[in-house]
Structure 1
Amino acid sequence: MEQNHACEEENEENKNINPEGIIILGVYIHCEGCGNEVVRSIRGYEGVEEIDIDAKNNKVIVKGTKADPAKVAERLRKKSGKHVELISPQPRKELNHVEIKKPEPKVIEVVLKIYLHCEGCAKEVKHCIHKMEGVRSVVPDIEKNMVTVKGSMDPQKLVEFINKRSGKHAEIVKQIINESDNNNIINLQLQGRRDPPDQQLLLYAPQLFSDDNPNSCALL
């Protein structure tokens, strides 16, 4: 009787966690190999019955009435090293629990100088960068030898990650920090940092006739 009662409680708990039996995850899928890696990461995991890859919309649909959405998302994140977003179902809010809002991570756009000698090299670098936690998108430009990366990662750690994992030399050209109120743009010239030109002083009408102004007009 106790065992049956425990099974009933477990089934009831699973229904509350994922009543529809469908989990939708947001994962950037850039190629067939990437999709296969996602499948390998969560295939056979507790409660997972079926996995569908929607590469066009960068979504992974997981089916299984006993699968815990949060645990499946965390499993995929750890195994693949990709940025994983739990789209559906949303986590339950516990009653009598004060929710503390965490500050949204700043989305940073980093332009890197990396030598890309061919299409295969660009794909290899792109695949490598996507393995870093926080990376959301990677866009290589072979002609300019530039790679634009967006995400919540630390730019300097990103450079170290690329140098270590891919063996290629990466250098930061530009950083754009996207915030809710304003955008801070930091340009780092490859030849060296340039200081902004000195601002010209604006003289208002009363100052034009001041004795302290050597360029003031003289009234005859």
Structure 2
Amino acid sequence: MGYLDHISEYCDVTSTRKSKRKPFETVEIKVKMDCDGCERRVKNACNSVSGVKSVEVNRKQSRVTVKGYVEPKKVLKSVQSTGKKAEMWPYVPYNLVSYPYAPQAYDKKAPSGYVKNVPQAFHDPNTPTEGYTTLFSDENPNACSVM
């Protein structure tokens, strides 16, 4: 046993270096855009954030989708720096919600096919009512056809 082996028993070398790479994320933001100039300013603000791979703007839905290795808060602040009122995308697709007409979920201002993302719209999938909703469905090949 050498001197270095003897010292290595007392010293423990661990790497304290953490990975600085952010996970790949898709960030959706709701921004009201009226013209091509607004759209261009929002798109340029999103592209200025480091790590952005693609930016998609849908002016009709007032929606901006940013994909890349970014932090959602940084993207939101960058869009807000243009002077536009921006918030995270508050809607979920209509088909993912069990109770789309819950009092807080249904929103007339929501784009077609979307409802607000609120806990009242979702429910536990283990409830027995889930089986009743698909029992008479046309998509279910084993459904009872009483008609």
TM-score by length of structure 2 reads 0.50
Alignment map for 1:129-140 (pairs within 5 Å)? 129-140=46-57
Aligned position for 1:113: 30
Structure 2 segments unaligned to the other structure (5+ residues): 1-16, 91-104, 106-114, 129-147
2: CA distance, partners of 1:156 / 1:104: 16
Query: Compared with structure 1, are the counterparts of its residues 198 and 127 closer, same or farther at alpha carbon in structure 2 (3 Å cutoff)?
Result: same
Deviation per CA, 1:59-81: give whole Å up to 9, x if none.
xxxxxxxxxxxxxxxxxxxxxxx
Structure 1 segments unaligned to the other structure (5+ residues): 1-99, 175-188, 203-220
Deviation (angstroms), 1:110: 1.1
2: CA distance, partners of 1:128 / 1:200: 44
Q: Which one of the candidate residues 169, 172, 182 is aligned to 2:85?
A: 169
- Identity level (%): 27
Q: Which one of the candidate residues 109, 118, 136 is aligned to 1:193?
A: 118
Which amino acid in 2 is paired with 1:116? M
1: CA distance, partners of 2:116 / 2:126: 26
Q: Which one of the candidate residues 60, 73, 90 is aligned to 1:156?
A: 73
Q: Which has the higher contact order (CA 8 A, sep 6+)?
A: 2
2: CA distance, partners of 1:119 / 1:200: 47
2: CA distance, partners of 1:201 / 1:127: 47
Alignment map for 1:8-27 (pairs within 5 Å)? none
2: CA distance, partners of 1:107 / 1:146: 19
2: CA distance, partners of 1:193 / 1:160: 24
Deviation (angstroms), 1:132: 1.3
How many correspondences in the alignment?
89
Deviation per CA, 1:121-179: give whole Å up to 9, x if none.
1111101111112222111111111111011211122212221x2011111116xxxxx
Which amino acid in 1 is paired with 2:49? M
Tell me how large the CA RMSD over aligned residues is: 2.9
| Structure 1 segments (4+ residues) deviating >4 Å | 100-104, 189-192
